[in-house]
Structure 1
Amino acid sequence: MRCTLPLAAALSAAFLLAPVNADAAGPDDRTRVARAVDDAVQRYGLPGIAVGVIEDGRIVAIETRGELAAGSGQAVAPDTLFKIASNTKAMTAGVLARLVDQGKLRWDDPVTKHLPQFRMHDPWVTANMQVRDLLVHNSGLGLGAGDLMLWPEPNSFTRADIITGLQHLKPVTSFRSGYAYDNLLYVVAGEVAAAAAGMPFDEVVRRELFEPLDMDGCRVGQWRLDEAGSVAQPHRRVDGRNVPVREDGEVVPDITSMAAGGIRCGVDDMLKWVGMWLDPKHPWLSPAQRRAVWTAHMPMPVSERMRQWDNSHFSAYGYGWRLSDVQGEWKVAHTGTLSGMYSSVILLPDRRTGIVMLINGEGEAARTALGQVLVEQAIGANAGHDVAHYATLLDQERAGRAAAQPLPDTSARRPATAEEAAALAGVWRDPWFGEVEICPRADGIAFASARSPLMRGRLMRVGARWLVDWDDDGVDAEAWLQPPSRDAGKGATLTLSHVDPDADFSYDYADLAFTRQRDCP
């Protein structure tokens, strides 16, 4: 299903943007965007997508395709809510910047000023971590450390559990010495905002963001599905088909990851958000805080793809935004990935140009290829490079990685027997993840988390190795299980690691270390 919003309606919906004449965005602008979107949908078989493009401060296209849920017959529309996932981080940072403008906090405040219970593994880091440090991925923790307290959903971990659990996550580098993406500290940042504002974080977001920018379709915290209108559902690919997964119930709960990735918006409201950033005189933030948010606070590596595709020379993280250059032009962007939903926001501030992409399926490659084409259209680079061109390059990259680091062959797996798993049987505990049972069940030996219900699977043997085969197909990162050595003694730990070295880093198995507590129930 395809919908192209008429230009006049688009302009009316985005009142924040500069007023234009009816013919300001010509048919060529809309046609080239529509063609690129169609190419991405066809190449990747997307269940649904919404794309909005602003050029020179004016909306030139809003394009929607597909369905809220595959087979539902309900078409994606400009106001359809998608999970924007980690594009929430820029909103969290923006809310904090508003509170700085209001004098309710400072970027260099110690986190413990607002959250006295906050603890990191190192007491010196605890005392010296500032509010700004929560936003720039410089904590010294490993990539995605502690994310198993957030995903897979649902689980029983709370924001208070995260603040308590952080002290048990051991750093892999020294504080402020390097970049490693994290989510937990954005959860802490949301709690800092709540403490400074004197109200729960979802109320802060509504008051400081949604209301002043008229983003009244967006949702955060707990809300009712029947009051939200059009809501896209996540999908995964099964035998070449898009299948809805983890569909929303009647009441959508307040999720623990709210400040890191819990906001939902439609492309129409996202264009209001983008339009505000493209207008340097917009009063939502002071000029000083705009500069603070888009300052390069933490250097990031420049990837080979960035060098080849964009001729990039620098990459850095601001407050909730990634900063880089593309063909000599300033680029501010972020992506979001969460359980069958993909989003992307790309800004070219000097051109007052912005791109929003929202996808409700397995859309990582589609997001990358389509975003590249739309950016190049905006800056007039690489004429003739279409979605197929970049899709082919991505396929080649993937094949190269697979050849360099092939997946282990686990086809000979078989269920472990109670006899051979006798030394593993029992209840084990990790200090931040909690207890797991390795105990007999009807079909073999189960590995089951007490606090994360989807982290339940069957213990398998692959030659001399142990593997956890998760019951839920949505948990797509199988784990090797490494038992303690026989001579390790009391306090020895059981650990997990990825079978697929390319698996999502949010399955942070490397941060787990279980010690045996007692026998199976």
Structure 2
Amino acid sequence: MRGPEPKQPAPTIPKSHIRLAALSNSAREDVDYTSIDRRLQRLAEQRSMVGMAVGIVENGRITFLKGYGETEANGGEPVTPDTVFRWASVSKGVAATMVAKLAEQGKVNLNGPVATYVPTLKLPAGAEYRATVGDMLSHRLGLYRNAYDNKLEEGQNTKILRQSLAQLNLICPPGTCWSYQNVAYDGASELVENITHQAYERAIQQNLFNPIGMTNASVSMGGLTGSKSWARPHDAAGREIALNDNYYRVPAAGGVNSNIKDMSLWMLAQMGEMPDVLSPKVLNTIHAPLVKTPGERGRLRKFLERLGEADYGYGWRSYDYAGHRIVGHRGGVAGYRSLIMFDPQKKSGVVALWNSNTNQPGGLEFEVMDMIYHLPFRDWMELDKGGKAETRSIARAENEEDISSGDGNAVRDRRRSRG
């Protein structure tokens, strides 16, 4: 990233979504914003970075929104809180939230057979009649990891791919093991369309984004490229790469776009700050830890000083973080990365979006949560370790489910960038 960092104007947030400090149990800020900003400026100087936007919520209030770097390498347009990025697999939480709302309305049975709601989803040995909607949303269908993502990236029809899953072998009975999916998970978009009789994007806009106040959020490639300011995708060496629609074709798994303002509002809603949109029942349903994911601790091994048990619910991960329960997710497709992590009880957390194939910014969420919990500082973003840290962060990305769930071209780009 290059060029001076312009001063960003204060964000305009709908008054109905502002929680005043006087109403909070504690108006005191635990996050050192000067320190975080200084460290993010250092991160912006890394050769693997191009542009990034960060939002922080404390005590139920949006307290920090800022952009760093450029929307396009050497393009001269600065990233601002209005710049739109891709959410990648963080989109899964949107789909799960929508399905949970339909369940709350009595229109979907989360424990009912997935075959009832997603006709194109076929599993080996007719297992779609034993697997539930909840199994689909929690990656417990019994398929091998990322089944048919390669065919999705070849441009094959997603509904035909879901039907073709019947040709595979189950690695376990549905509901008994966890294995990350995209093609199968996108059965959620088909379910939403069948129940609402609307296009998936329209249903999400009408039931979630608009009521929350997310005026720049969308679920399509056109929604990204039609934005006034949008971040172009880049590889880990900061070279621009081609934008493709592979994971827009599975919108429930990876199709959401927004600026950091809207993502911060989304986090507020997930914290329970907008009960008129997302009730406590819906939030408890999607955030509940349903299946243990011990492999997640292996992928986040550098953070094990903080992380205890790791679980997955409906489109959301949850962790024991130094004795606190936190909720979050990460995502990545070719040229984009994203993260969200928050404490639902303290109503504090962080979101970030960036447009290059590096995982180094992932340490930001741990630095922010450490401040919230008054834990000793650790250089989780590895800013003091130089280029070796960047190389490690790129290598780690290839082994993380939320990242490898993105476009296979991203993996090839990362390998080329490492020589």
Fold shared per TM-score above 0.5: yes
- Map of 2:125 onto structure 1: 122
**C-alpha separation between the residues in 2 aligned to 1:290 and 1:398?**
35
**C-alpha separation between the residues in 2 aligned to 1:107 and 1:91?**
16
After superposition, the Cα gap between the structure-2 partners of 1:224 and 1:203, relative to the gap in structure 1 and judged at 3 Å, is closer
Partner-residue secondary structure (3-state), 2:161: helix
Partner-residue secondary structure (3-state), 1:186: coil
**C-alpha separation between the residues in 1 aligned to 2:336 and 2:242?**
11
Percent identity among equivalent residues?
23
What are the superposed Cα offsets for residues 361-385 of structure 1, whole Å, 9 maximum, x if unpaired?
1221x22222221221222112354
- Map of 1:40 onto structure 2: 43
- Map of 1:383 onto structure 2: 377
What are the superposed Cα offsets for residues 406-447 of structure 1, whole Å, 9 maximum, x if unpaired?
xxxxxxxxxxxxxxxxxxxxxxxxxxxxxxxxxxxxxxxxxx
- Map of 2:355 onto structure 1: 360
After superposition, the Cα gap between the structure-2 partners of 1:12 and 1:116, relative to the gap in structure 1 and judged at 3 Å, is closer
Cα drift, residue 55 of structure 1: 0.9
What are the superposed Cα offsets for residues 449-485 of structure 1, whole Å, 9 maximum, x if unpaired?
xxxxx99xxxxxxxxxxxxxxxxx867189xxxxxxx
Q: Going by fraction, where is helix more abundant, 1 or 2?
A: 2
Q: Decide whether the 8 Å contact of 2:29 with 2:58 is kept in 1.
A: no
- Map of 2:112 onto structure 1: 109
- Map of 2:251 onto structure 1: 258
**C-alpha separation between the residues in 2 aligned to 1:253 and 1:38?**
32
What are the superposed Cα offsets for residues 200-247 of structure 1, whole Å, 9 maximum, x if unpaired?
211211111111112120121353667421111110134xxx111114
Q: TM-score, normalised by structure 1?
A: 0.69
Residue identity matched to 2:227: A
**C-alpha separation between the residues in 1 aligned to 2:14 and 2:286?**
26
Partner-residue secondary structure (3-state), 1:150: helix
State yes or no: 1:286 paired with 2:286.
Answer: no
- Map of 1:373 onto structure 2: 367
- Map of 1:243 onto structure 2: 239
**C-alpha separation between the residues in 2 aligned to 1:277 and 1:208?**
14
What are the superposed Cα offsets for residues 116-160 of structure 1, whole Å, 9 maximum, x if unpaired?
34310121x121111111111112211111111332xxx432232
How many residue pairs get aligned? The number is 396
**C-alpha separation between the residues in 1 aligned to 2:390 and 2:208?**
41
Residue identity matched to 1:278: M
Larger Rg: 1
Residue identity matched to 2:309: F
**C-alpha separation between the residues in 2 aligned to 1:350 and 1:81?**
29
- Map of 1:145 onto structure 2: 147
Q: Decide whether the 8 Å contact of 1:57 with 1:275 is kept in 2.
A: yes
Cα drift, residue 43 of structure 1: 3.8
**C-alpha separation between the residues in 1 aligned to 2:287 and 2:30?**
33
Cα drift, residue 395 of structure 1: 4.3
**C-alpha separation between the residues in 2 aligned to 1:254 and 1:309?**
31
After superposition, the Cα gap between the structure-2 partners of 1:343 and 1:226, relative to the gap in structure 1 and judged at 3 Å, is closer
**C-alpha separation between the residues in 2 aligned to 1:12 and 1:281?**
13
**C-alpha separation between the residues in 1 aligned to 2:363 and 2:384?**
5
Q: What does 1:331-480 correspond to in 2, within 5 Å?
A: 331-364=326-359, 366-383=360-377, 385=379, 387-388=381-382, 395=389, 398=392, 476=412
After superposition, the Cα gap between the structure-2 partners of 1:140 and 1:4, relative to the gap in structure 1 and judged at 3 Å, is farther
Residue identity matched to 1:59: I
**C-alpha separation between the residues in 2 aligned to 1:150 and 1:347?**
32
Partner-residue secondary structure (3-state), 1:12: coil
After superposition, the Cα gap between the structure-2 partners of 1:117 and 1:397, relative to the gap in structure 1 and judged at 3 Å, is closer
Q: Decide whether the 8 Å contact of 1:13 with 1:268 is kept in 2.
A: no
Cα drift, residue 313 of structure 1: 2.9
After superposition, the Cα gap between the structure-2 partners of 1:227 and 1:392, relative to the gap in structure 1 and judged at 3 Å, is closer
Correspondent of 2:319 among 316, 324, 332: 324
How well do the aligned residues superpose, as a CA RMSD in angstroms?
3.2
Cα drift, residue 269 of structure 1: 0.3
- Map of 2:209 onto structure 1: 210
After superposition, the Cα gap between the structure-2 partners of 1:202 and 1:288, relative to the gap in structure 1 and judged at 3 Å, is same
Residue identity matched to 1:374: V
Partner-residue secondary structure (3-state), 2:147: coil
- Map of 1:54 onto structure 2: 57
After superposition, the Cα gap between the structure-2 partners of 1:303 and 1:392, relative to the gap in structure 1 and judged at 3 Å, is farther
Residue identity matched to 1:149: K
Cα drift, residue 45 of structure 1: 3.9
- Map of 2:399 onto structure 1: none
Cα drift, residue 300 of structure 1: 0.8
Partner-residue secondary structure (3-state), 1:235: coil
**C-alpha separation between the residues in 2 aligned to 1:14 and 1:345?**
23
Partner-residue secondary structure (3-state), 2:17: coil
Partner-residue secondary structure (3-state), 1:62: strand
Partner-residue secondary structure (3-state), 1:211: helix
Q: TM-score, normalised by structure 2?
A: 0.85
**C-alpha separation between the residues in 2 aligned to 1:188 and 1:28?**
39
In structure 2, list runs of 5 or more residues that go unmatched: 397-406
After superposition, the Cα gap between the structure-2 partners of 1:396 and 1:284, relative to the gap in structure 1 and judged at 3 Å, is closer
Higher deviation after alignment, 33-42 or 10-19 = 10-19
**C-alpha separation between the residues in 1 aligned to 2:236 and 2:387?**
21
- Map of 1:170 onto structure 2: 169
